[in-house]
Structure 1
Amino acid sequence: MKNGAEVIKWIQGLLPFGIKPGLERMEWMLERLEHPEKKLKAVHIAGTNGKGSTVSFLQHVLREAGYNVGTFTSPSIEFFEDRISINGTPIPEDALITCAKRIQPLVEQLRTTDIGSPTEFEVITTLAFDYFAHLARPDIVLIEVGLGGRLDSTNVITPLLSVITSIGYDHMHILGTSLTEISTEKAGIIKSKTPIVSGVSQKEAIEVIKRTAKQKRASLYQLRETFHESLVAKTEEKQLFTYEQMDQETIDVTIQMPGPHQRENAAVAICALNVLKREFAFQIDQQHIENGLIATTWPGRFERIQKTPLVILDGAHNKEGMEALARTLKQHYPTKRYRFLVAATKEKEMTSLLQPFLNLDAAFTFTSFDFERAAVAIDLWTEAPVSQKRFKEDWQQALAEELEATKEEEMLIVCGSLYFIARVREHWKSLMKAPV
């Protein structure tokens, strides 16, 4: 492999191996790399929604406090390399090549064993651990779970603390059909005597986390029990809220990410930072928290990419994400009429996905995009329980038509899949660079 493009092509060539929950392939590769995951000071972040935003809040505050921060997130929103970053800077091409050359022979060898070829995500995870431990050596690494928790590729680490942002109905074909089953999988990241911060809201999910924490003798910090957030004031672009925690000074902080769910994500991040400060001697003060939170953004999370007409990109792709999107629209843009451009993956059910919008004055255009798991537009249109709807298979044409049709009193929201949002962001950037 001579360049980054060849590395990415090789890794993406593993996509046909799909999703194979389990840790044996990870452990096999990491043992032969001298266990880079054991050399990391890490925070492990799981959750149905809110993982990426919480990682971003944590990263910005830790950088404000002077720490070098590694992040491992998924999926990529702008380009492949941004999944593995130091202080927001994606892995350099030379490092990508170096790590890939170390891992490729192991992948080939593993294919010949009884446990079979690793998946794309397992190889990316291994590459991230190798890069952080042997080349970048950050002060702390924020590791986002890919799917679930218990059997996720990232669950080979022993972190300083674990975080579960939320629990919801997603990936049910893998994680289970009940909140208890899904929560059990997410709670699988809780380690013995390792603190756990939870932003989970449902009673049955909290019970699973509490029970697991007790079994593991892990200190649990639970939103609305150990720590609280309450809105003070909001505008279209900012939210001021109060953060309270037992044995901690009450503080007022401002974030520029809209929606009640982002206040909860920020509160979870503050609690996690307090744990790092109190139990692991991280030097983080109130000013670092205030400065870091107000500076935090996250691509594709209620991201305003155009003001006139107003265009929002949002990664909402499951029931809970769509509910959060609906609450954010009502809170920040209550007088607007909404237009939606929606694409989704095949396993999504439009009936439950669109439930939060049934009482809104909204029009929907369903489309598709070039992705192996993308649903066909007419299928989404057929299933959607809304009256104002149409479909257009070509998403670029659909986007152009929606932009043309959106009036001043309206706003356009593009949502339904993080993979789709990534395509739209890339296309939007190319439009902005195009000569007039």
Structure 2
Amino acid sequence: MDGDSMFVRDYQAALDFIHGRTKFKKKPTLTTMKLLMERLGDPQEQLKVIHVTGTNGKGSTTAFIRELLLAHGFEVGTFTSPFIVKFNERIALNGQMINDETLVTLVNQVGPVVAELDAELGEQGPTEFEIITALMFTYFGQIKPDYVVVEVGLGGLLDSTNIIQQPLVSVITTVGYDHAQILGSTLPEIAQQKAGIIKASCPLVLGKVSPEVAQVIKAVAREKKAPYYQLGQAFKNQATGLKDGQESFIYSDDSFHKLALASGLLGAYQVDNATCALKAVSLVAQAENFQLQTKLVKLALAQTAWPARMEKIFTQPLVFLDGAHNLAAFEELATMIKSHFNANHVFLILGILADKEPEKMLTMMAKLPNVQLILTDFDAYRQVADPQKLATKLPQAQAISPWKIAFKTVVTELLADESDVIIFAGSLYFVSEVRAFFKEEMDE
């Protein structure tokens, strides 16, 4: 491509092009995505993919899978969302995000095809997420890593990542309420969407779900003749509590008997994510004829890190960031506070998006006797739940905005003891803003 006909000239222009698109179609379909990939030469068909969906736990499960494969000497691509600090994190190789020049090159390859489709399809032209997915498949199609772990953007069935025909294994981590306005309002409806990633004869790993959800997913697996492995049945785990600051657990399946492991990510639910990841990778190992080594499995799970998942950013005072952003994740956070911080006073600083049932989430947290709720706001492209309005409905919550003032108030006026804990949560967008700010402060 010569200098005069470049679609974008620099990194900022590449980002502007991507973010300038509509986020989602009114009616999701895969038609545009199929056309887009076809014109780009269908690079996704050359890749060995592990496809991951679920209401919560997708990102952490992807991180565990990545570490397990890396530990066994493979090159691993990952596709995740949302990013925490920088857009490029969404497309990463061996845990390192792509650089700015690579993104510019990719947009210069994909952009002109998008422009062609815009001209032909008008409003049905590719959306932001379809374009990002196409950039990712194009990139991995060129560098051909051994495996690519692809996280679904939304749902499964009509998600733009779902043009993958033959993944090595599909993983459904959890099924709960999130994005109800797009995916349906009952759990079986949401499960039906997630089950859309199940492909003919491709093994499926299913995490902890309710019986009604399992029934829906099992029916789809049976219909597609997909081997079906459900946590608690085909493979099992048993949490054995905190050891040396890690979640320890015992894993068993048909190839490992009572294997003692530990997760580098905190929270009982991370034990389930690590367990599903290990089962998925053991199925990959079977299909690809390589042996999993116990020593490497232990090492990989113990060293897995994922930004903003009960991530400790300060020890004095003890400050964590957690991406809990819907009811199911808040239930996990509440369980985590009960099991790990029952003897501590916890200040929960929350910034929540308005479309996430904030009142239900807060009512649940307000029941914890050792938790003090501080409601705040942050910069978001979507509407943030009004902290003042929420605080009037909950007598035990106080509203302090903006969040930097909320943090300062907690540290200077409210902290009473060295054992007090501060947790930022409520939205991944919120905690990514907090994280970026603190990282910058520390670097100066």
Tell me by how many angstroms 1:201 deviates.
2.0
Match of 2:115 among 104, 108, 117: 108
- Distance in 2, matches of 1:144 and 1:266, equals 15
Give the partner amino acid of 1:250: K
42, 45, 54: which one aligns with 1:38: 45
Say if 1:350 and 1:380, in contact at 8 Å, map to a contact too.
no
- The whole-number CA distance in structure 2 between the counterparts of 1:388 and 1:286 is 48
Structure 1 residue 426 corresponds to structure 2 residue 436: yes
Q: Distance in 1 between matches of 2:318 and 2:355?
A: 30
| Distance in structure 2 (CA, Å) of the matches to 1:182 and 1:432 | 41
- Provide closer, same or farther for how the CA distance between residues 214 and 46 of structure 1 changes in structure 2, counting only shifts above 3 A: same
Q: How does 1:303-314 map to 2 (within 5 A)?
A: 303-314=311-322
Q: Which amino acid counterpart does residue 428 of structure 1 have in structure 2?
A: F
Match in the other structure for 2:3:
none
- Distance, in Å, in 2 between the alignment partners of 1:97 and 1:233 is 46
1:255 aligned onto 2:266: no
SS in 2 for 1:312: strand
- Give unpaired runs (5+ residues) of structure 1: none
2:350 is equivalent to residue 362 of structure 1: no
Identity of aligned residues (%): 37
Contact 1:310 1:412 in 2 (8 A): yes
* 1:17-416 pair list within 5 angstroms: 21-114=28-121, 116-134=124-142, 136-158=143-165, 159-235=167-243, 237-360=245-368, 361-378=370-387, 381-382=390-391, 386-404=394-412, 405-407=414-416, 408-416=418-426
Letter in 1 for 2:231: L
In the alignment, the residues of structure 1 paired with residue 218 and residue 58 of structure 2 have an alpha-carbon distance, to the nearest angstrom, of: 20
Kindly state the Cα deviation for residue 24 of structure 1 after the two structures are TM-superposed: 1.3
Q: What CA distance in whole angstroms lies between the structure 2 residues aligned with 1:311 and 1:39? A: 44
Residue by residue over 1:290-349, the C-alpha shift from the partner in whole angstroms, topping out at 9 and shown as x without a partner, is 110011011000111111111110000011100111111111111011111111112111
- CA–CA separation in structure 2 for the residues paired with 1:36 and 1:154: 13
SS at match of 1:55: helix
Residue type of the alignment partner of 1:190? I
What is the RMSD of the two structures over their aligned residues, measured on CA atoms? 1.7
The CA distance in 2 between the partners of 1:427 and 1:168, in whole Å, is 31
Partners in 1 of 2:43 and 2:306 — Cα distance? Answer: 28
Alpha-carbon contact 2:208-2:272 (below 8 Å) kept:
no
Counterpart Cα distance in 2 of 1:248 and 1:395: 47
Between the aligned partners of 1:236 and 1:22, the Cα distance in structure 2 is: 47
Alpha-carbon distance in structure 2 between the residues aligned to 1:146 and 1:16: 11
CA distance in 1, matches of 2:140, 2:106: 10
CA distance in 2 between counterparts of 1:377 and 1:341 reads: 14
Task: Give ranges in structure 2 of 5+ residues lacking alignment.
Answer: 1-7
* Whole-Å separation in 1 of the counterparts to 2:420 and 2:27: 43
User: 1:305/1:18 Cα in 2 relative to 1: closer, same or farther (>3 Å)?
Assistant: farther
- Which SS does the other structure have where 2:163 is aligned? coil
Q: Which moved more, 1:355-364 or 1:35-44?
A: 355-364
Report the TM-score when normalising by structure 2: 0.93
Shift of 1:433: 2.5
Deviations 1:350-371 (A, max 9, x none): 2322243232132212122221
- Quick one: structure 1 residues 19 and 137, their matched pair in 2 at CA, closer, same or farther if it must change by over 3 Å? farther
Which deviates further from its counterpart, 178-187 or 355-364? Answer: 355-364
8 Å CA contact 1:343–1:416 kept in 2: the answer is: yes
The answer to whether the aligner puts 1:3 opposite 2:25 as a matched pair is: no
Distance across 1 between alignment mates of 2:297 and 2:243: 21
Secondary structure of 1:154's aligned partner:
helix
Which whole-Å CA distance do the structure 1 matches of 2:398 and 2:241 have between them?
A: 38
Any conservation in 1 of the 2:349–2:373 contact (CA below 8 Å)? yes
Does the CA contact (< 8 Å) of 1:340 and 1:365 recur in 2? Answer: yes
1:51-76 residue CA offsets vs partner (Å, 9 max, x unmatched)? 01001111111111000000000000
Preserved contact between residue 73 and residue 84 of structure 1 (Cα < 8 Å): yes
- Taking the aligned partners of 1:98 and 1:284, their CA distance within structure 2 comes to 37
Give the Cα separation in 1 of the matches to 2:392 and 2:60: 30
1:378 Cα deviation after fit: 3.3
* Letter of the structure 2 residue corresponding to residue 178 of structure 1: T
Question: Which of 369-378 and 255-264 deviates more?
Answer: 369-378
Q: Normalising by structure 1, what TM-score?
A: 0.95
CA distance in 1, matches of 2:255, 2:56: 28
